Amino acid sequence: MIGGIGSIHFKPSVGATEQGAELFQGNAIAGAKDVGETSFSEALSQAATKTVNNLESAETLSIEALKGNADTRQVVDAVMSAQQTLQAAVAIRDKIVSAYLEVSRMSI
C-alpha cells in the first residue's frame, strides 16, 4: 500500500442533501492539497465528531426537558435528528467494513 488509508482523498459533493453526506461536509483541514478536499481519515474523523456532538446535544436537551427547561417539540426534533445521524454513521461504517472485507478477499 503506497500511502495508507489516510492518503485517500474524499471530496464531498456540492448540494448533497442526504444525512450521511452532511456528516462529511465542512471546511478543508489545513494541509489538504486542494480547497474543499479532505483526506479519507480526516473526513471520517470529522463525521465521527459531528455525530458525537449531535448525540450529545440531543442528550443535553433531553436532560433539560426533564428539568422542565426545554420544550417537548425541541426534544423530539433533537432526538430524531440524533437518530438519523446515528443511522447514517452506522450505514457508513457498515459500507466501510464491507469494502474492507471485499478488498481483503482479493487475490494479489
Contact 49, 70 (CB under 8 A): no
Q: Which helix (H) or strand (E) is 82 found in, with range? A: helix 72-105
pLDDT band at 16 (very low <50, low <70, confident <90, very high): very low
pTM score > 0.75 for this model?
Answer: no
pLDDT of residue 50: 93
Q: How many structural domains is the chain composed of?
A: 1
Average pLDDT over residues 35-64: 89
24: domain range? Answer: 5-105
